[in-house]
Amino acid sequence: MAETPSQGLGHEEDFPETQVSGRGASYHLPWPFFVGIALLAAAILGALVAKSTSLAVFATAMLGLLLTVSQRPLLALSFLIVLLPFSEIPIFADKVVSIPGARPALLLGAFVMGVSVINLWKASHPGNLALSFIVISMSLFTVAVGRSLGYLETLNATWPEEDLTVQGYILSYLVKHIIYFFPFVAVVLYARTKKDVTLMISIMIWSVVALSSYFLYYYIFEVENKGVIELAWEYAGEALGLHKNAASAIYVILFPLCLARFFVKKDLLGVGALVLGLASIGFLYSRTAYVAAAMAWLLYLVISKRARFLPVFLIGAAGVILILSESMISSSILERATTSLESGDINEVSKGRVDRLWIPLAEEYLRHPADVVVGKGRYAMLTTAAARQGFILGASHPHNMFFEQILDAGLLGLGCFLLFFFLFLRLSYKSIALIHDRELKEYQVGVVVAILSFLAGGMTQGSLFPELENASIWAVLGLGLVISRLAHNHE
412 pLDDT above the threshold of 60: yes
418 pLDDT above the threshold of 80: yes
Triad 438, 420, 123: Cα angle to 5°: 65
Average pLDDT of the residues in 400-418: 95
Q: Is residue 140 part of a domain?
A: no
| Per-residue buried b or exposed e for 200-233, using 16+ beta carbons within 10 Å of the residue's own CB | bbbbbbbbbbbbbebbeebbeeebeeeeebeebb
- Please give the pLDDT value at position 282: 78
Q: What is the maximal distance between C-alpha atoms in the chain? A: 68
pLDDT digits (tens, 9 = 90+) for 32-43: 555 555 555 656
Q: Is residue 467 part of a domain?
A: no
User: Contact at 8 Å (CB) between 245 and 234?
Assistant: no
Distance separating alpha carbons of residues 21 and 189, to the nearest angstrom: 10
User: Contact at 8 Å (CB) between 199 and 27?
Assistant: yes
Distance separating alpha carbons of residues 403 and 427, to the nearest angstrom: 26
Helices (H) then strands (E): counts for the chain: 24, 0
**When comparing pLDDT for 191 and 7, which is higher?**
191
- Please give the pLDDT value at position 1: 39
Decide: residue 97, CB within 10 A, 0-12 exposed, 13-18 middle, 19+ buried. exposed
- Please give the pLDDT value at position 3: 39
Within 10 A of 104 (CB to CB), how many other CB atoms are there? 26
**When comparing pLDDT for 30 and 485, which is higher?**
485
429 pLDDT above the threshold of 90: yes
Distance separating alpha carbons of residues 227 and 229, to the nearest angstrom: 6
User: Contact at 8 Å (CB) between 364 and 385?
Assistant: yes
**When comparing pLDDT for 65 and 464, which is higher?**
464
178 pLDDT above the threshold of 50: yes
Q: Is residue 264 part of a domain?
A: no
- Please give the pLDDT value at position 66: 60
Of 136-145, 250-259, 384-393, 417-426, the least confident: 384-393
pLDDT band at 25 (very low <50, low <70, confident <90, very high): very low
205 pLDDT above the threshold of 70: yes
| Per-residue buried b or exposed e for 348-359, using 16+ beta carbons within 10 Å of the residue's own CB | ebbeebeebbbe
Q: What is the DSSP letter of 350?
A: T
Instruction: Calculate the dihedral angle through the C-alpha atoms of 347, 290, 250, 299, rounding to the nearest 10 degrees.
Output: -110
Please name which of 315, 273, 317 lies closest in space to residue 295, comparing C-alpha atoms.
Answer: 317
82 pLDDT above the threshold of 70: yes
pLDDT band at 317 (very low <50, low <70, confident <90, very high): low
User: Contact at 8 Å (CB) between 376 and 147?
Assistant: yes
**CA separation, residue 455 to residues 295, 449, 463, 468 (Å):** 12, 10, 10, 16
Quote the domain boundaries for residue 115: 30-122
User: Contact at 8 Å (CB) between 458 and 400?
Assistant: yes
Mean residue pLDDT across the chain? 78
- Please give the pLDDT value at position 56: 58
- Please give the pLDDT value at position 265: 86
Q: How far is CA 281 from the centre of its chain?
A: 15
- Please give the pLDDT value at position 186: 95
Please name which of 93, 98, 34 lies closest in space to residue 240, comparing C-alpha atoms.
Answer: 93
Mapped onto helix, strand or coil, the DSSP state of residue 461 is coil
199 pLDDT above the threshold of 60: yes
Q: Is residue 352 part of a domain?
A: no
Please name which of 289, 300, 292 lies closest in space to residue 264, comparing C-alpha atoms.
Answer: 300
24 pLDDT above the threshold of 60: no
Q: Is residue 327 part of a domain?
A: no
451 pLDDT above the threshold of 70: yes
For the chain, the domain total comes to 1
Instruction: Calculate the dihedral angle through the C-alpha atoms of 115, 78, 452, 435, rounding to the nearest 10 degrees.
Output: 90
pLDDT band at 435 (very low <50, low <70, confident <90, very high): very high
Percent of the chain surpassing pLDDT 90: 34
- Please give the pLDDT value at position 21: 42
- Please give the pLDDT value at position 486: 92
- Please give the pLDDT value at position 131: 95
- Please give the pLDDT value at position 202: 92
27 pLDDT above the threshold of 50: no
Within 10 A of 321 (CB to CB), how many other CB atoms are there? 14
Q: What is the pTM of this model?
A: 0.82
216 pLDDT above the threshold of 50: yes
**N-to-C CA span, the chain:** 23
pLDDT band at 19 (very low <50, low <70, confident <90, very high): very low
Q: Is residue 208 part of a domain?
A: no
pLDDT digits (tens, 9 = 90+) for 223-264: 777 666 667 677 777 777 787 788 889 999 999 999 999 999
Query: What is the sign, positive or negative, of the torsion defined by CA atoms of 314, 288, 407, 386?
Result: positive
- Please give the pLDDT value at position 259: 92
pLDDT digits (tens, 9 = 90+) for 147-157: 999 999 888 88
User: Contact at 8 Å (CB) between 172 and 162?
Assistant: yes
Distance separating alpha carbons of residues 55 and 66, to the nearest angstrom: 16
**CA separation, residue 383 to residues 400, 406, 407 (Å):** 17, 14, 10
pLDDT band at 112 (very low <50, low <70, confident <90, very high): confident
pLDDT digits (tens, 9 = 90+) for 355-379: 677 888 888 898 888 999 999 999 9
Q: Is residue 46 part of a domain?
A: yes
430 pLDDT above the threshold of 80: yes
Distance separating alpha carbons of residues 357 and 398, to the nearest angstrom: 7
pLDDT band at 95 (very low <50, low <70, confident <90, very high): low
H or E, element range at 387: helix 385-388
Q: Which value, in Å, is the radius of gyration of the alpha carbons in the chain?
A: 22
Average pLDDT of the residues in 105-124: 83
- Identify which of 28-32, 80-84, 447-451 has the greatest average pLDDT: 447-451
